[in-house]
Each structure stands twice: as C-alpha cells, then as structure tokens.
Amino acid sequence: MPSPGPQISEFLARIGLSHLLDLFAAEDIDMPTLRMLDKADLKELGLTLGQRKKLLAALETLPDPASPAPPQKKAPEEAPLQLRRISVLFCDIVGSTELSQQHSIEDMQVIMQHYYQVATEIAKQRDGYLVGSQGDGVVILFGYPRVLDGFAERCVQAAQDLQRALAERLVTFDGRASFHIPTRIGIATGQAAVGQSSGDTMQLVGPVVNRAARLQTVANPQSIVVDSKTQHLTRNAVLYSEVEAHDLKGLPSGTEVFHVLGLRHEVEGPAAPAALIGRDTEASTLRQLWTHAQAGAPVTITITGDAGIGKSTLIHSFLSIQTNPSMRVLHLHCAAMGTRSPLLPVAKALETLTTGGPTTPSLASLLGEPKPELLIRAAQFLGLDTPSGNDVAVSLRDRESILDLLSRWIIRGAAGPTLVFVENAQWADESTRELLKRTAQRARKDGAVLMIVAATRPDSADIWEGQDGHEVMTLQPLNPRHCEKLLQGIFGAKPIPHSIRDNILSHSGGNPLMLETLGNAQAARHQADIASIIEIPHTIYESVSKRLDGIRMGRSVIEALAVLDSPSSPELLAAVLDQDPDTMQPAIDALRQTGLIQLKGTDGQTEAVIRHQVYRDVIYEQIVGKSRRKLHAAALSALQTYYDDPALQRPDLLATHAHVARNWENTVILALKAGESLLKRSALLEAGHFLEMANAAIQRLPETSAHKQEHLRIITGLASVERSRFGIATDASADLGTQAVQLARELGDSKTELLALNGLYAHSLVRANYPRAQEYAETLLETARRNREKTFVMIGTRAIGAVAFHRSDQVTAQRNLNMALSQYDKEAHLHLAHAHGYDHAEICAVFLCMSNWLTGDLRKSRHFGTFSIEHSREIGHAHSMAQAMAFRVMLGALARHGTELSIIASEAIELGEKHDIRVMRAVALLFPFVTHLCLRPEPPKPAEMSDLALRIKEFRKVNPFNYGPLLASLIADVSLRANDIDGAEAALSEGAALEMSTGETWTAPELLRLRAQVAAARGEELMARQLRQEALASATRAGALTLALRAQCDIAMADPGPDTVQAVQKALLKMASDDQGWDTQRAATLVQTLSPA
C-alpha cells in the first residue's frame, strides 16, 4: 500500500488533521487526488461535518495546480455467477408502517433517501456491497464481489456503524433536524449463488439472505442479531449474548441466535501451543536469532506462509519454552477490522497492560512518565480514555512525538530482553507499520536487546522490506511423514482405512489447519466415507479467494483445471472450454504468476495443475451448480476424445464427471465399471463409493432389460462390499441378497440367483441362525444341481459342511468340506472371491482347520490353517487373508497356541485397518490377548481386565451374533484366573443360553468343563465331578477328541490315580496326530507326573 507523499502530510498538519493521514493512505489518496474530492466523497470516507468544512476551506486557499490527467479506469471483468461464502446484513426500519402513516409521501421520500444514502456510505466504508432494498430493508453483502480478510467481522462492524450513523445523523425537513431512524439488523453467513447474469441484473440466490431477514425480526430496536456461523467466525472480535433458540418462519426449529453486545477491546492471551510437528529447522532458527538478540544484535524477522500453515503455532511453541523471568513479551494482535484504525494493536496491548487490578501500572508509568500534554495526545491518538475536555486535534508533530514515545517504550520499557510478536501483520495499519520500522532502526542504533517477529501472509507487504539485517522465514507445507504424525495425534488408536488417510493427506496439501479440519471431521464419523464434503476452514477460504478475485485473465481456465482435478495440457483445457488452443497459453502464464498453478512436464509435454489441493477445493467450491455441471459434461466429452484408447481412460474419473453432469446413462456404465474394477483390487471403500453412485443413477433410468441387468451387477457388487467391510451379518447384506435373488429370477439369471442365495446362506450362518442357514444351503445345492451349475454345487456342498461344523456334526462337516475343497480350481473359481467377498478354498480350509482340531488331527488342522492364509496371500485377496488370519487366531485362543498368534494378529490388524475390515481387526485385537492372559502363570491385573472388557465390547459391536459360546469360554477361563468366580459363572451362563437359542454347540464340552472349574472354586466338589464327566461325555458324543482329552486331563488332576492317568493315556492315543501343542503337552506332562515310578 503506497504511503502518501510529504505534501499531504504537511497540508494536514497545517490544518490540525494529521490523524487523518492513515485514512487517506489506506485509500491511496495523495495530494493531487485530495484536490479532486468533493463533499460527498469526504462524507463517504467518514469525515465529520467539522473535518469536511475545515478541509474544503483549506483546499480552496491553495493555488491551482496544473490539472492532473483523469485516472484511467479499466473496464471491470464481467462478474460471472459464482457460489460464494458471504455475510449478509439485512437492516429494517423499526415501525415503518406507523412512520408512513405519520408523514406525507414527500416526507417519506426524504426519509428513505436519507436511509439509503447512509447505508450506501457505510457499505463503501466497510468494503461491503449494497445489493438494494426490499421494502424498507436494505441488503449489504460482505465477501462479494471480492473477498477481504475477516469479511464477517466487517459485516458486524458495518452494522454497528450503520445504526450509529442513523442515530447521529438526523433526518432533516426543510433544513431543520427532525428525528433519527431506528433500525434492527440481522446478519447471516453462508453460501449463495451471486453475480451478474446479464447486463446489470444482479442475481442472489441462497437461504442465507432469507435467514438474515428472519433474524432481524427477533432483534430489539437499535440492536443486532447474528446466526451461529457468523458468531463462530467473529467470536474473537465481537462480544455476544448467550445463545438463544428461536422458531423463525422458513428456518429450522430452534434456530440459534446471538445478540451483539459490542466489540472486544481486550486482547486474549496466547492459546496453549499445539504440538509443533515438522518445524524443527524453523524452531532452531528462531532460537539462534533470539540468542543474537540477547547479545545486543536486534532482530526483525517476518514469518510468512499461507493461512493455516502454522505461523502462530511456531511462535507460541517458541514462547512456551522460554524460561528467562525478566523477559518481556508484547503481543500485538492485528485484526481485519483495524486496518484503518491507527495503532490499534498497540492500543489493545497497552489497554491490557493498564487494566486489571490495583497493582496494574498506569499508562503514564508504563510509558516512562512523559509530559502530561504528550500523554494526553498519545492516549487520544490511541483511542484510550482521556480526561474530559482534552479532545483536541493531533498535529503531525504530535504524531511524530507519539511514535517516538511508543518506540522508546517498546525498546526500554523492561529491565530484561523484549520480544514483540505481531500476529496477522497483513492487517497492520500504516501507523503500526511505521512504528515498527522506527523501533527496529532505533534498536539497531542503540544495540537494544530486542527481537520483533511478524507473522503474515504471502500476499502482504513486508514491514521491514529492504532494511539491513532483516530476516524472512517462509513456512512450507508439511511433508508426508509429518502429516502422518499429525494425523496419528488426531486419530489415536482409532483405525482409519489407508484410502481415507491418503484422501486426507491429498486434500490438505500439507497445510496443518486443513489437515486437522479433515482429520477431526473423519474421526468424529461413525464410519469411514470418502464421498463426504468437508468445509474448507474460513481463513484458508479467505486467503485463496483473495487471490482468485485478483485474477484478470484465466478465470475460466482455472475453473476447468479445478474440474479436471489433474495435470492438463493446453489442448485438453481448450477442448473443455471449446476454445482455440493458442488462447490457452497467455491465460496459463497469467495464472502461473498468481502462484495458483504450476507447470509439470509429463512425457515431454508441459501440463498445468493447481498448485495445492486446498486451492483447487476453494476454486471448485465457487463454481455455481449450472456452470459446474456444464464444465463436467465438457470434461467428460473432452477426456473421452482426448484419450481415444479405452485402456488409457480412467472410468473412476469419467464416472465422476458424468455424475456431476447428470448424465445418468454414462454414470451407470462408468461407475459400475470403476466399482467392479476396484472390487477386484480389494479397494472396498472406493468400490462402494462408485457402486453407490451407479445405484443412485440407475434409479433415474427406465426399467429396461439392459438396465435391470446393470442393476443386478450393481446390487451384487454392493453386497460384496457390504459383506467384506461390515460383515455378512448386517441387515443391508440380507436386503441386497434378497433384491438380487428377485431380480435374477426376473431375468432368468441362474448364476446370479445362486450367487445371491449363497449370500443369504452366509448371512444366516453369521447371524447364528443355523436352521435358516441349513435351509438356504439345501436350496442352494438343489438349485445348483437342477441347473447343472458345478461351481455352485461345490459351494452348496461347502455350505452344508459349514453348518454341520457349527452344530457339532463333524463327520458331515469334514466329508462335505473336503469334497468342496477338492473341486476348487484356482483359475476357474478365483473370481468368486470378489463376488462373494471371500475365497472358496480359504473358507473351506478355515472350517477344516477348526473341525480337524476338534476331532484330534492337530497336524492336519495346522496344515489347513497355514494353507488358508498362504493361499489368500497368493491370490492377493485382502479380505480372504484377513478372514483366514482372524479364524486362525480364534481357534488359536481355544487351542492356547501362544506367541505365534500375536505375529498373525499383527498382520491381520494392519489389513483390517488398511481395507476397513472391522470384524477382522476386532478379532485380532481380542483373541491373542485372551490367550496371553490364559497362558501366563500370574493372574490378570485389574488394568488388564479393564482392557479386556474394552476389546470384548469392540468385538461384540462388530460381531454380535456368532461365536458367542467360544468367547464365553475364554472370558470364563480368564475370570477364573483373576479369581472372579461370579464373572466366570455369568459368562458361562450367557454362553449356555446362546447355545440353546442358536444351536451353535461345537464348544459345548468346553463350557461344561469350565462350569466344573467354577463349581470347584465354590467348593462344590460333587457338582464339579459331575460336570467334568458331562464335559467328557459331550466331547465323546461329538467326536471332539481334543476337548475330550482336555476334560480327561481335568478329571485326572482333580482325582489323580492309576485309572484316571490311564484314561488320559488312552485319550492321548486316540488323537490322530500331535502338534506338540498345549493340550498334548499338558496330557503328556500329567501322565509323566502322576504315573507311579
């Protein structure tokens, strides 16, 4: 911002109006321009009547200079309709109906003209945009046609100024004052489509305008109310009442309303510093500079960077580690509303230092007891309280003396070193800038112990630019490693899929504020979602929008880049915009100079890309709906033409363009293609996103046979995603399966019908509804045989075996599972993994692993367990591998397999988090931990039991139906080890109830065995002996030889003798194989220990 020349300074000093120097500087008014101003201009600038008369009279006494050439006005670029964030001021006259009845039409015309004139002046003074009037209401926008820093604050201040001006400037009739116009004002902030569509026609569409109008109805006369968004954005600058809830016409019930009480004058102390991540080099530089400053080499440093990049965090972190008790820190907080208020940051700092208690120093003592006249002038210039009757004009000489006084106070006002922190220096007024320059010059001359740090944005002029010894530090975006660390602090232990994490990192562009905004929004969600739109932090929006508003060439080009959202050649951009490719380069060069885009070389071709994803998001946000749809339609057409080879086309990108363009036919085709492709790569979140997109689009198309077939593919894909992400037991999984069966039968698609029947069988199995699962398995097998579908005969056979396993029929289970596994052919059947959500061979092997363990073939059990994992790894199907690992650790907990489970679980957790497979993650967190507590000699500690309870809760949350009896047996075992007999008994009672209600009985002998231990712990030995025998009998009937061995060992330990030891030996000999695991080792040790010498 250029400073006024000495001529205007001398002129203002001569007439006692030096304090207007900053105002004229802010408006770029020099002496030649001053001569051109008339009464209306001076009134618009906010000068009082006396100041205007004094200034105009003095101008008339000056000799006439050579007439300056009239300024050349550039034709403004046509303002397109844009989606903008704006603050809307709606002002209404109180009692306008009564007023019109009391005055003639001519008088009302005078009243309304006065009203509109004052509103127009205030709007211009505060950089608002007067849209027009609605009856006796006026509407002023802030944030349009150009975005200014703190436009919501400017709106609130303009509202106060407007009411004050209408109260002070009375309406006059025939030259005599009559009355002032009372008003009430409502302010709302939000999005609106705004711009000039053609000619001078103004368009303003959006609920924010209606909200502002409704809000003013609850304001008292001469008061202002705002909505919650405005209050949130201005809470650090404006004092508000407690929130009120009002029911306003056309607005949601209980709309939050805040009454404006005034502007904040006190300065809040610095917030507790956030964790400083990724700024070690910058922090070290600050420490080195501070060391130099304390040695008598004063330092000035400007820290610059985009909004939200971490400037304040860096400085507050630096201040938090300073331990010198004699160190003085002066915080100068610059505000958007203070750019025309001379020395406002200094005034606020002095006001804070001189108020608060009886020991607080006075202004005089703080400033070193200056002469009373100078103190009065300084207080007046700063806007601080002054004795009545001392309000006199401040001369240019006074201003010089005041700046000198304040400079000496900053340098010498403390016994120890001084550090001045100027926050948001881009909003510093001219007098504050001049004061800081003088202070730095004097400090260097005197060798003062002083460091001044100014934090500002890149598009702001540096206060000390060009001065010797001045330092500039530019904060760059955080690198990916530091971004990951920051995200870890937000998410903690909460699992976040890798695709969501990558999406956050991409959109944040290394900006910590954006990263925290996206991270916190995701952390608060119940489930991960890549499609949700997060509002860009307001400070970032303002910063980027200011640059956009400065574009004079290439707005359409940068909007096309935002829509394409990838590096684009001039030829592609020209195709999207339907322009000559030769016209692209000048626009690209102009945009490059703004810093909004950069060029990248790809395969020998230069492409343009928006510099940061955050910039892209702001630009995209401002493209209004109709224009946005048109650009996406053009992008779809251009990309399909530009990449004529289908292999080079990306269906996910094309689907997004088609979707926004509302090209539903292409949306279905492309989104379905993208979803199925992603599903094959186990990218479940992304697959679900595009399949949902296709599903929404197909609802808008007629029900032709072709569309039904596409719909069936969509439903089948969504069912696979649902099963893989949230488990087979969800209601949505059953609903999708039912839809698929019905649609497949309509189309006569037997394969898809069988696929859906398999999904419904699996849903019933996981819901522990084994009778229903048996019905679906039999229907599946019968339908497959009828249609001679060998693949589904194989699957139906497996289904029969899986149900039999859970119902303790291990003979039927192993016969069918072995048969089904033998029919598997990887080349022919691999695709089923993507259709079902799991691989056929993997799930066969899982149940064979568990069944063979029960029936005593421990080595074969381990073989199938290893095969299920390694086969899944080989085929590269993440869900199958996570599932295989989950079942392996579940059985391992029952079998007490020990430390090997932790290794398997670690990989399962990583897979679960990467692909958002929550069931697998919960299993892997719970069962190895239980095993650890069961195997170690010392009992569990209270903290471990609390931890266990949390893990159990998480498991039951994602898997509430099956494997309850197994979990009950493990809880009971751990509880007994913790001497919690009641807890063990409660768990076993719950397990028995689940066995009864579901028919899941494969762990029944184990529950009986543990009930015997509970009885023994209570001293009920007869009951314990009876239950041990029941456990042995139950295991024997089910052919569960391993559990029979376990029960026999318990009997021998409780009643050692030749018969019981021999029974253990016989049970051990019945085992088909020995894996040297917990049960066989325990049995062998018992035999050796209890046998006679």
Does some domain include residue 295? yes
Mean pLDDT across the chain:
86
Whole-number pLDDT of residue 358 = 67
The reply to whether 302 and 367 lie within a common domain is yes
Strand order in the sheet with 418-423: 328-333, 418-423, 450-456, 299-304, 471-474
- Band (pLDDT 50/70/90 cuts) for residue 831 is confident
pLDDT in tens, 1040-1074: 999 999 999 999 999 999 999 999 999 999 999 99
CATH number of the domain to which 227 belongs: 3.30.70.1230
Region of 976 please: left (phi>0), alpha (psi -120 to 50) or beta.
alpha
DSSP 682: T
The reply to whether 46 and 177 lie within a common domain is no
Whole-number pLDDT of residue 26 = 65
Does some domain include residue 827? no
Does some domain include residue 1051? no
Least confident range of 116-125, 389-398, 600-609, 732-741: 389-398
- Band (pLDDT 50/70/90 cuts) for residue 918 is confident
Amino acid at 131: V
CA angle 172, 173, 174 (to 5 degrees): 115
Is the model's pLDDT at 999 over the cut of 70? yes
CA angle 713, 715, 716 (to 5 degrees): 65
Does some domain include residue 1012? no
The reply to whether 434 and 555 lie within a common domain is no
Is the model's pLDDT at 529 over the cut of 90? no
Q: Which residues neighbour 358 within 8 Å (Cβ) at sequence distance 6 or greater?
A: none
- Band (pLDDT 50/70/90 cuts) for residue 301 is very high
Integer Cα distance of 670 and 35 in angstroms = 66
The reply to whether 886 and 932 lie within a common domain is yes
**DSSP states of 384-434 as a string?**
----TT---PPPHHHHHHHHHHHHHHHHHSSSS-EEEEEETGGG--HHHHH
pLDDT in tens, 759-797: 899 899 989 999 999 999 999 999 999 999 999 999 999
β-strand pairing of 328-333 with 244-246: unpaired
β-strand pairing of 238-240 with 255-263: antiparallel
Residue range 92-112: mean pLDDT, rounded: 85
Whole-number pLDDT of residue 932 = 94
Q: Which residues neighbour 737 within 8 Å (Cβ) at sequence distance 6 or greater?
A: 719, 756, 757, 759, 760, 763
Least confident range of 377-391, 695-709, 987-1001: 377-391
CATH number of the domain to which 18 belongs: 1.10.150.50
Whole-number pLDDT of residue 703 = 92
CATH number of the domain to which 376 belongs: 3.40.50.300
Q: Which of 176, 181, 69 is nearest to 117 (CA)?
A: 181
E strand or H helix that includes residue 567: none
pLDDT in tens, 312-352: 889 988 988 887 788 889 999 888 777 778 888 898 888 88
Residue span of the structural domain in which 226 resides: 82-263
Least confident range of 225-229, 396-400, 901-905: 396-400
Query: Which burial class, exposed, middle or buried, applies to 778 when counting CB atoms under 10 A from its CB (0-12, 13-18, 19+)?
Result: middle
Region of 48 please: left (phi>0), alpha (psi -120 to 50) or beta.
beta
Q: What is the dihedral of CA 310, 312, 313, 317, to 10 degrees?
A: 140
Residue range 498-516: mean pLDDT, rounded: 79
Would you say 642 and 567 are in contact if contact means Cβ atoms under 8 Å apart?
A: no
DSSP 28: T
The reply to whether 244 and 288 lie within a common domain is no
- Band (pLDDT 50/70/90 cuts) for residue 948 is very high
The reply to whether 410 and 506 lie within a common domain is no
Whole-number pLDDT of residue 646 = 67
Does some domain include residue 331? yes
Tokens of 891: 């059985």
The reply to whether 510 and 426 lie within a common domain is no
Q: pLDDT above 90 covers what percent of the chain?
A: 49
Is the model's pLDDT at 69 over the cut of 60? no
* Alpha helices (H) in 613-749, listed in sequence order: 613-621, 625-642, 651-660, 664-680, 684-698, 705-726, 731-747
The reply to whether 643 and 608 lie within a common domain is yes
Does some domain include residue 86? yes
Number of structural domains the chain divides into: 6
The reply to whether 528 and 554 lie within a common domain is no
**pTM given for the model:** 0.68
Tokens of 401: 């003396």
Count Cα neighbours of 1088 within 13 Å in the Cβ-side half-sphere: 6
Residue range 278-286: mean pLDDT, rounded: 91
Residue range 392-412: mean pLDDT, rounded: 83
Does some domain include residue 862? no
Whole-number pLDDT of residue 531 = 46
**DSSP states of 1070-1086 as a string?**
H-SB----HHHHHHHHH
Greatest Cα pair distance in the chain:
131
The total number of residues shown for the chain amounts to 1093
The reply to whether 486 and 610 lie within a common domain is no
Q: Which residues neighbour 409 within 8 Å (Cβ) at sequence distance 6 or greater?
A: 366, 367, 368
Integer Cα distance of 381 and 402 in angstroms = 8
Residue range 55-62: mean pLDDT, rounded: 78
Does some domain include residue 416? yes
Helix axes 840-854, 878-895, angle to 10 degrees: 10
Query: Which burial class, exposed, middle or buried, applies to 863 when counting CB atoms under 10 A from its CB (0-12, 13-18, 19+)?
Result: middle
Residue range 270-298: mean pLDDT, rounded: 82
Is the model's pLDDT at 459 over the cut of 80? no
- Band (pLDDT 50/70/90 cuts) for residue 259 is very high
Integer Cα distance of 862 and 900 in angstroms = 12
Expressed in angstroms, the distance from the first to the final Cα of the chain is 103
pLDDT in tens, 620-646: 988 888 889 999 999 999 998 887 766
Residue range 602-606: mean pLDDT, rounded: 71
- Band (pLDDT 50/70/90 cuts) for residue 835 is low
Domain stop point among 649, 672, 700: 649
Q: Which of 93, 409, 104 is nearest to 222 (CA)?
A: 93
The reply to whether 500 and 588 lie within a common domain is no
Is the model's pLDDT at 966 over the cut of 90? yes
- Band (pLDDT 50/70/90 cuts) for residue 711 is very high
CATH number of the domain to which 631 belongs: 1.10.10.10
Q: Which of 184, 192, 267 is nearest to 229 (CA)?
A: 192
Whole-number pLDDT of residue 202 = 74
The reply to whether 54 and 94 lie within a common domain is no
Give how far Cα 303 sits from Cα of 150, 312, 316, 473, Å.
20, 9, 13, 5
- Band (pLDDT 50/70/90 cuts) for residue 648 is low
What percent helix, strand, coil does the chain show, rounded to 5? 60, 10, 30
